[in-house]
Structure 1
């Protein structure tokens, strides 16, 4: 614990500040050294390719060092007991990246992801793991890393059986939320640490109740994998998938703060965007296009283009001689390739190569081995190309999807036994375009196009993908992700209770099957560190009415406030008063309303002299947020406007309301003029 004697406390604090100054100087030298390596590397004599690879590596390293964000360089310290194995008697400062004065010297700061750092998160009085003392450092809020901002520390003498709830951790968790999401490297809890340090080859699904830090766990897991398996992960690529750009902006600073830059952060719509979205589907059409049955409909439609009907023998001129492949052999070639079920584009080339091989065998029986140039010339013969185009034609995904959505007969054939007549009518375009080139594609159409594109040719995959808000993925969207990680692993993050899309998952087992990872372990996180207990209790009352089987959340935070305001007059007037009250406290204020009410609420606040911003303006004091985009965001004080309107705005409106009620990290104020739906 913190020393009660001010003299030794002051001496220790001064020593820690001096150590931080030493670390700051060492980090500056590391940055300068990285730039110096670039200059030296550019002068190294090597082959062009070697020099280019070396130069890219050194420049990337220097850029990474220059872009490190400002802030304290360590947040903890481990003092190991004598006789504690290889670390006996050693002390290690724990921070967001490794800092050393020279590579050959012991580090001044150990990276939080290093194996020795794990005890900082896992050790306790019952299992000290060789740690005599664990120290946590307190820094002034918003510190840029000035040593004077180190204000104190807490010690836990684990070897003596001492254990305590850390005030520093509590203050950090409860610190006002303004601006982008922060990393949690200093406050990771043991159950979160287990997930963060999971094996690269293991896919995991985190069912996280509100405020349990599932998003932070996923991002820290990404940083851990990049640190532990740098070559494997960077070679395969790492992708962070979020539900929308607002959410990605909110989390954008977490990985750079942990020392990892250059990680692709995207939405699924961006990953599959072959065309801009210019059309909007009806609810029925969108739901069908996201239905898993569409995968088989599309497969049938694509392979309906492969046909042996009317196949005749092919004759290939070769100088003064003509080779002939009988029709029966050509039919067997196509049937054999189809039975192998390769990607459509690969199948087309296999048909070509096997016809060429049939000709080559004839030529070798007549004149002996043929050269590679001869094989290439035969493979380009017009007769063979014409045959391949006839039996296994080239095709664009747009042609397949447009034909299905334009031609009732084509759709009926492909959907036979899968979709009934009403469903087929719902899928057909009301005003078919003249051709696929002039088609106006909807967001759901992009999912269909990606499915067909994946059947034609497998997309380039990633080594690891982190998928957040995964409960809202449709089966077809899950399949799009599965195609991008066929040999890699997934970290799936979500909460079934927060599923708001019409096709939202009801069980993780189904979603994981569509994601291609049925063996993934589902791990529940139920202990909240962000949402206060009063808010969690209210949300759990609503959870009982939702059609999902998830454990209720609980909160470790006894602080926080919940207030319900019943408007006697205009609801917007009560909202203005609630926001003014909130502005007397610290932190951000999020005013969340049904999408149709947002402009009316914003106008009332502006008329009342309260400046507002939209959700994309991070760091604003008062933000007016449509309920449809609030998922994943958090505010110190949330004013939830007319819950009944939010619940009625969409088919899964109660789930949306559940999301809205759990965005507050300090205070929740519910303003209503109509009866509450909970």
Structure 2
């Protein structure tokens, strides 16, 4: 890596930033002009808002690529006549490809590419060219910048003049201190990763990779690549990125914006049900039961149980007398409603209609006419009159609503969890102990993360309450009528003002006024609310939104019921599924990708495996590999690309000193990685105790919240407690050991867990 001084690349980089400033100014000038436009009709206002939104997005994109705008250059074989092996970096311009975050053309009118978007086919050799297969590249140059200044370059020559040393750029990136936020890897994507990012598969692509293989970054860059190659469709439908917890989402939150992409919704599964917040914690055993696939049938049975038939004839007041709701008539109405194939709330109108038909027949029988047996002496008009009278009888409607009530998902589940009888009827396949885990005898106290997929399942089965929908439509119609009346009143006032001020014989009376150009309907439309939300904002508020592509990170942790939620959100089944089966920690998590995906897509999915570990030094990787062999002897750990001179250590302390010692040692580690990040990873109860002693700048997390994160230094406290803490405790320990990029310490009481023996941990006195 050449550093210091002035680099020839600075001239072109300066030109790029000048062009960036021009494009920004143009976008903002156009935006200001569009927003200043007035006097438009309703259609014009809509078009103006669409244009303004696009210009705002363009301006935001240009702002987001300021840092690291250009990071590479390719000098291609068969360049211009003045180029050769000894030519300078700016010779043979027609053969040079400058690679960066976005594509830019010059502003001179000849539309020469000043910068090639890293996702464009022309940029691919920057990531895949090797000395053996140079892809037409004579030289690859890595460019490092600070702000708008070139600070260093690294060359790889593929013409035999020098031995390529491309790992230097990669190693410089992976050994940098962490900041607490994930950085993009656009300048250092490796060939194995590039193949996944640009994979042409349009269905479900599973990216399996061990810790440190960059699978999260690869998945995010793949999302950016798809937004580039399928812009028109994905811009309308948006992309969803699902992570395991809010901490993880904050950690990755800046990656896609730094790549110029903002049309992406980041969420956890429990954030995908608008209007409901999962703020109740519950035992892992309860969450595991709620996450089982069998719960789909439990919810379906709970819905069916609310579609009742009276056990005995049910007298209901009508017209001063009593009419009977016979079980056989109600059973026939229920059967016809179920056969309609509609969600519960929509089928409710079918049930009510068929029940009223039957009740009208029973009412007609009072007049000696057996309608049900075809012997009626009444006319159709007579029967319709009787039916209308029944439909207007509050007591009758109340009885029918009790037999087939309008339900919300929240009411269905709250009633189910609070009633042992309802739960037993809906879940006969669960044991008594399992049903006890689900019950909330004290009533509804809020929703847990495991409840959200069940609410979503219920919403699918229940559908929209038709009465509520009609009420909303009627309210909207009334609001529109009021707006029209107000608009007409305003026009009448304007017209009256003109006729009072202008003599009918005056030629000025021929002058056009507001009432000549705009009628009441158009005036009302001008003041109607316009939805200015982006596709992402609308998607976040709409449970039924269909995303164009979904990225699922730490996918091995999701329950079968959570997968049903995601499959509904992506009916096209265009997904990038990212995870590592060896890191599964949740009780209901994945044992294999086949078991996860087969219920939804059969065998229509493909796997790509990442095999290189960029995060862990070889010394720390050896410790983690020892645990991996105990989890699955047949699984191969990813290969570490670097070694370190710092050996991972372990130390024993007295049980009562564990929390304080972990906090103190983490503080010492922080001093050894200036500017870096440090974490203590411990079982949940111990983590709470360590937090009370931890110095500023040290994060304290349990294994679940540490998933997907990385730190410069990690102290793992109480490994035996981590292993004993769950049925997948070894997986949790493996997660903890694979978080550090530079330094690892293990603090324990008593002997080390067997899985850590002989792994290279060096004893330390504390």
TM-score w.r.t. the length of structure 1 is 0.81
Partner of 1:474: 559
User: 1:590 touches 1:635 (CA, 8 Å); kept in 2?
Assistant: yes
Structure-2 residue corresponding to 1:125:
131
Give secondary structure in 2 for the equivalent of 1:188.
Answer: coil
Partner of 2:721: 645
Decide which of 412, 416, 437 is 1:404's aligned counterpart: 416
State the partner residue of 1:612.
Answer: 696
**Contact 1:532/1:560 (<8 A) preserved:** no
Match of residue 227 from structure 2: 226
Give the Cα–Cα distance (whole angstroms) in 1 for the partners of residues 283 and 665 of structure 2.
Answer: 39
- CA shift, 1:623, in A, is 2.8
Report the equivalent of 1:623.
699
Pairing partner for 2:427 from 415, 429, 453: 415
Q: 1:301 to 1:386 in 2, by over 3 A?
A: same
Matched, 1:601 2:690: yes
Q: Is the Cα contact below 8 Å between 1:77 and 1:92 reproduced in 2?
A: yes
Measure the CA separation in 2 of the matches of 1:596 and 1:356. 60
The separation in 2 between residues aligned to 1:671 and 1:461, in whole angstroms, is 47
Deviation at 1:399, TM superposition (A): 2.7
Closer, same or farther in 2 for the Cα pair 1:628/1:423, shift >3 Å? closer
- 2: CA distance, partners of 1:157 / 1:237: 41
The alpha-carbon deviation at position 479 of structure 1 amounts to: 1.3
Question: Where does residue 257 of structure 1 map in the other structure?
Answer: 258
Tell me the secondary structure at the aligned position of residue 571 of structure 2.
coil
Matched, 1:94 2:99: yes
CA contact (8 A) 1:479 1:514 kept: no
The equivalent of 1:169 in structure 2 is 170
Q: Larger deviation: 57-66 or 158-167?
A: 158-167
Per-residue deviation, residues 422-478 of structure 1 (Å, max 9, x unmatched): 32333222x243xxxx54333323332222112223822211111111111111111
Q: Deviations over 1:545-580 (max 9, x none)?
A: 226964322211223633223236644447625642
Give the CA deviation at 1:35. 0.8
Matched, 1:31 2:115: no
Q: Secondary structure at the match of 1:14?
A: coil
Picking from 568, 574, 583, the partner of 2:671 is 583
Residues 128, 159 of structure 1: 8 Å contact kept: no
What's the CA shift for 1:70? 3.5
Contact 1:466–1:491 under 8 Å retained in 2: yes
> Number of residues paired by the alignment?
617
- Quick one: distance in 2 between partners of 1:577 and 1:134? 44
Return closer, same or farther for 1:425/1:390 CA change in 2, 3 Å cut-off: closer
Instruction: State the 1:352 CA deviation.
Output: 7.9
- How far apart in 2 are the matches of 1:159 and 1:342? 70
1:82 aligns with 2:78: yes
Offset from partner CA, 1:8-65 (integer Å, 9 cap, x none) = x97xx63210111111110011111101111333438865334433433334433542
Three-state SS of the structure 1 residue aligned to 2:306 is coil
Q: Does 1:554 align with 2:639?
A: yes
Mark the CA change 1:165 to 1:647 in structure 2 (over 3 Å): closer, same or farther. Answer: same
User: CA separation in 2, counterparts of 1:135 and 1:351?
Assistant: 72
Q: Is the 8 A contact 2:681 2:715 kept in 1?
A: yes
8 Å Cα contact 2:612-2:638 kept in structure 1: yes
Aligned to 2:8, the other structure's residue is in SS state helix
CA distance in 2, matches of 1:659, 1:347: 48
Is the counterpart of residue 530 in structure 1 residue 615 in structure 2?
yes
1:232 CA drift (Å)? 0.8
What residue in structure 2 maps to residue 135 of structure 1? 141
Instruction: Verify: 1:424 aligned to 2:435, yes or no.
Output: yes
Residue 282 of structure 1: CA displacement? 3.9
Pairwise CA distance, 1:286: 2.6
Cα distance change on mapping 1:394 and 1:557 into 2, 3 Å = same
Kindly provide the CA deviation profile for residues 305-345 of structure 1, in whole angstroms up to 9, marking residues without a partner as x: 33577999xxxxxxxxxxxxxx9999888646634644434
> Does the C-alpha gap of structure 1 residues 55 and 443 become closer, same or farther in structure 2, counting only changes over 3 Å?
closer
1:75 counterpart SS class: strand
Contact 1:508 1:522 in 2 (8 A): no
8 A Cα contact 2:666 2:679, kept in partner: no
Q: Note the 1:65-80 alignment, pairs <5 A.
A: 65-66=59-60, 67-68=63-64, 70-80=66-76
Q: Do the aligned partners of 1:560 and 1:665 also contact (CA within 8 Å) in 2?
A: no
Aligned pair in 2 of structure 1 residues 26, 155: CA closer, same or farther (>3 Å)?
A: same
> How far, CA to CA, are the matches of 1:432 and 1:274 in structure 2?
23
Matched residues in 2 for 1:392 and 1:579: separation? 63
Residue 386 of structure 1 and its aligned partner are, at CA, apart by: 8.1
CA distance in 1, matches of 2:105, 2:234: 25
Counterpart secondary structure, 2:143: strand
Which residue of the partner structure matches residue 239 of structure 2?
238
- C-alpha distance in 1 between matches for 2:124 and 2:294: 45
Which has more radius of gyration? Answer: 2
**What is the alpha-carbon distance in structure 2 between the residues aligned to residue 174 and residue 204 of structure 1?**
30
Q: Residue 556 and residue 343 in structure 1: after superposition, are their counterparts in 2 closer, same or farther (change >3 A)?
A: farther
The match for 1:338 is 338
Residue 565 (1) aligns with residue 650 (2)? yes
Name the SS of the counterpart of 1:650 in structure 2: coil
Q: 1:81 and 1:330, CA in 2 relative to 1: closer, same or farther beyond 3 A? A: farther
Task: Go from structure 1 to structure 2 and tell me whether the alpha carbon gap of 1:93 and 1:47 turns closer, same or farther (over 3 Å shift).
Answer: farther
The residue aligned with 1:542 is: 627
Give the 3-state SS of the residue equivalent to 2:417 in structure 1. Answer: helix
Evaluate the alpha carbon distance shift between residue 635 and residue 356 of structure 1 in structure 2; reply closer, same or farther with a 3 A threshold.
Answer: same
| Partner deviation per Cα, 1:486-545 (whole Å, 9 max, x = no partner) | 224111111112111121211111122356575221222221111111111111110122
Query: What is the distance in 1 between the residues matched to 2:284 and 2:66?
Result: 47
Contact 1:136 1:168 in 2 (8 A): yes
On the 8 A contact 1:472/1:505 being kept in 2, the answer is yes
CA-based RMSD: 3.8
Alpha-carbon shift at residue 385 of structure 1 (Å): 7.9
User: Contact conserved, 1:306 with 1:392, CA < 8 A, in 2?
Assistant: yes
Give SS of 1:129's match. coil
Looking at structure 2, the residues matched to 353 and 198 of structure 1 have their Cα atoms a distance apart, in angstroms, of 53
Residue 598 to residue 64, structure 1, CA distance change in 2 (3 Å): farther
Q: Which position in structure 2 is the counterpart of 1:663?
A: 739
- Residue 52 of structure 1 corresponds to 46
1:16 is the counterpart of 2:27:
no
Which stretch has the larger CA shift, 650-659 or 208-217?
650-659
| Residue segments in structure 2 that go unaligned for 5+ positions in a row | 81-91, 314-326, 361-378, 381-387, 464-542, 757-766
Alpha-carbon distance in 2 for matches of 1:411, 1:228: 49
Kindly indicate whether the alpha-carbon contact (under 8 Å) linking 1:154 and 1:168 is maintained by their aligned counterparts in 2.
no
1:259-297, Cα deviation, whole Å (9 max, x unpaired): 112421111112236544454434433321111111101
d(CA) in 2 for partners of 1:44 and 1:227?
34
Q: CA shift at 1:111, angstroms?
A: 0.9
Question: Which deviations, in whole Å up to 9, do the C-alpha atoms of 1:227-286 show, x marking residues without a partner?
Answer: 111221121221111111111111111011101124211111122365444544344333
Tell me the CA shift for residue 346 of structure 1.
4.6
> 1: CA distance between counterparts of 2:232 and 2:432?
52
2: distance between equivalents of 1:303 and 1:503? 27
CA 1:625–1:287 in 2, change beyond 3 Å: closer, same or farther? closer
In the aligned structure 1, how far is the partner of 2:354 from the partner of 2:121? Answer: 53
Note if contact 1:333-1:354 (Cα within 8 Å) is conserved in structure 2.
Answer: yes
* 1:125-180 per-position Cα deviation (integer Å, ceiling 9, x unaligned): 333223232221234xxx2x222x43223133268896434312210122111231
1:463 aligns to what?
A: 548
Aligned-partner SS, 1:523: strand
Distance 1:73 1:354 in 2: 67
